[in-house]
Amino acid sequence: MRILVTGSSGFVGSALVPVLLCQHYEVTAVVRREQDKSQAGSNSFVVGNIDAITKWSKALHGADVVIHLAARVHAIGKHESEDIKEFRRVNTDGTLNLARQAAENGVKRFVYLSTIKVNGEATAPGRPFTSNDLAAPQDPYGISKHEAEVGLRALAQETKMQVVIIRPPLVYGPGAKGNFNTLMKIVARSLPLPFASIRNRRSLVGIDNLVNLISTCIEHPSAANETFLASDAEDLSTPELIRRMARAMDRPARLFPVPPVLLSNAATLVGKGDVALRLCGSLQVDISKSSELLGWKPTVSVDEGLKKALNGASRKTNLRFY
């Protein structure tokens, strides 16, 4: 079976492609730039920008499955109107253009890595997101991903191509960037953190577990035209995550209490309300559908996943965790 993987040199793609090769799939790894080919291996295809006019016919030749990981994640414009336009150009128009050409070229299944932001930004206590919830995206990234999902489902009804949608929360692992990497560096320095009083619950997914779910969806008959949520099946509070990270580094977790409302208000005053939401708010996902339909469960525990992530980071930096 031949699989086309977009975003193959990215965080998820660079972990997925070697697994697929070990499973004896024939993989065409799509990269944006010529210099990324060395990371993707010999059977790679340089696509350039991904948008509504990208030509995919050569890359799609002979492909049975497309796994679409490539996406714009970060804003680049100064105004929200500019941001949403750019997100839609890549995440919505680019995705649907690829999917239409995939269907025309006889691709049997299109696996789309979306985001839990399609569900929303936060959950109420004891009410995790499910794949059946009404979509409630709030930022340009989540909106563009939701619009792509809507278009993909319509395409699946119009053609013979099956669509599988996977919505992960925060993904961590060796090489992770963004908020996880920032928090890891802070914990590594044993800096005092005012999070001891936070009582939230957040779902995360380790890169190994996400890759395992994606690979399960390639051929599983029950995955066709379904949407799945992903997580490690263990939700952590912010202080518990910090304690687990510190333990993996053999460092002390220096936490002291500050009322969460004060943290949230202070962060909002300095324009960091979104950061406060992630630190103080809850975001839980229910993966029972993934378990029931696919027989899937996370293969790597949170503690093992954190240790892998932190060991990987220590090899790439001057930080010594042990």
Where in the sequence numbering do the catalytic residues fall? 141
Q: Residue 227 and residue 167: Cα distance in Å, rounded?
A: 8
State how far the alpha carbon of 274 is from the alpha carbons of 74, 117, 259, in Å: 14, 13, 17
Span between the terminal Cα atoms of the chain, in Å: 43
CA angle 169, 171, 173 (to 5 degrees): 160
Cβ 232 vs Cβ 203: under 8 Å: yes
State how far the alpha carbon of 310 is from the alpha carbons of 59, 152, 175, 188, 234, in Å: 35, 36, 9, 9, 19
What share of residues in the chain are helix, strand, coil (percent, to 5)? 45, 15, 40
DSSP at 134:
P
Q: Which two tokens stand for residue 280?
A: 């103080």
**CB neighbourhood size of 192 (10 A):** 10
Q: Which helix (H) or strand (E) holds 188?
A: helix 178-188
Q: 195 — phi, psi (to 5°)? A: -115, 10
CA nearest 282: which of 118, 119, 136, 121?
121
